[in-house]
């Protein structure tokens, strides 16, 4: 494990960050920091949108305007454009909820004192992907029936019969088995890598500033490391938003594919 590796530099030791840094000690009892952050994210989202919508008016105030902007983005740019004007409305609540929830948990990675993106733990991304999997398969079965949905997902229209024995297992594997796995891994891996980079530049910069000899070189390289870390933080914020968007967009695409008339 990287976190247990020790590198000697000019008489001092530097312990590089690794996967071990993501397994945080319990805050109290069995409750860990990621578990607490998940609850805080849900409460923050609920409280924020409660106050945004509490005094709804035709001419919105600043809070209402901000809430409507986020809701409108998910409703129009993701749900309606992907699922279609006829069916999209019933799926907006889920897509809006998952977008906000993932976004808040991602941005915890750059919030002072919190500084941990919850989605860098694969258990949380797996749970969200499983919910999406249940929803898109459930609505597909409800519309087409169990056998009709299985055919819908595994037998593409207009394909020559002789290739179906090869294509059907691949389509089943891709559409039914692999989708939730890739959906979970994409979000997890991006958040994990981004946070690991931030730890690397922060801890490395601190070591160079305080312990590296010759001092002039250590201070110079340490400051450069901190500056790169700041730049990476801004880039990571963009990635955090994009990953929330991609997760929600793919969920909408899977729903759209499940309820469409043709595969």
Q: 103-156, pLDDT tens digit by residue? A: 999 999 999 888 899 999 999 999 999 999 999 999 999 999 999 999 999 988
Q: Domain limits of the chain?
A: 2-259
Mean pLDDT across the chain = 88
Q: Give the pLDDT of residue 12.
A: 59
For residues 156 and 58, the model is more confident at 156
Q: Are 121 and 136 in contact (CB under 8 A)?
A: no
Q: What is d(CA 164, CA 263) in angstroms, rounded to the nearest whole number?
A: 14
Find the mean pLDDT for residues 30-59.
87
Q: What is d(CA 196, CA 17) in angstroms, rounded to the nearest whole number?
A: 7
Find the mean pLDDT for residues 64-76.
91
Angle between helices 62-72 and 92-107 in degrees, nearest 10: 110
């Amino acid at each position: 494990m990287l976190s247990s590796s020790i590198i000697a530099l000019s008489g001092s030791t530097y312990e590089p960050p690794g996967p071990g840094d993501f397994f945080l000690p319990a805050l109290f009892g069995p409750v860990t920091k990621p578990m607490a952050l998940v609850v805080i994210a849900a409460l923050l989202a609920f409280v924020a949108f409660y106050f945004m919508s509490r005094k709804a008016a035709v001419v919105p105030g600043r809070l209402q305007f901000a809430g409507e902007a986020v809701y409108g983005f998910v409703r129009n740019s993701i749900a309606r454009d992907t699922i279609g004007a006829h069916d999209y409305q019933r799926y907006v609540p889920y897509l809006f909820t998952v977008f906000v929830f993932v976004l808040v948990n991602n941005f915890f990675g750059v919030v002072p004192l919190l500084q941990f993106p919850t989605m860098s733990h694969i258990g949380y991304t797996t749970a969200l992907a499983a919910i999406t999997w249940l929803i898109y398969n459930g609505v597909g079965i409800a519309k087409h029936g169990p056998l009709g949905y299985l055919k819908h997902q595994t037998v593409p229209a207009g394909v020559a019969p002789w290739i179906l024995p090869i294509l059907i297992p691949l389509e089943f594997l891709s559409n039914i088995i692999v989708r939730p796995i890739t959906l979970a891994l994409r979000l997890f891996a991006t958040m994990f890598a981004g946070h690991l980079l931030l730890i690397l530049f922060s801890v490395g910069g601190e070591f160079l500033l305080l312990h590296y000899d010759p001092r002039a070189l250590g201070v110079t390289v340490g400051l450069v490391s901190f500056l790169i870390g700041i730049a990476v933080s801004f880039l990571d914020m963009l990635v955090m938003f994009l990953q929330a968007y991609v997760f929600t967009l793919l969920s909408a695409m899977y729903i759209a594919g499940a309820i469409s008339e043709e595969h």
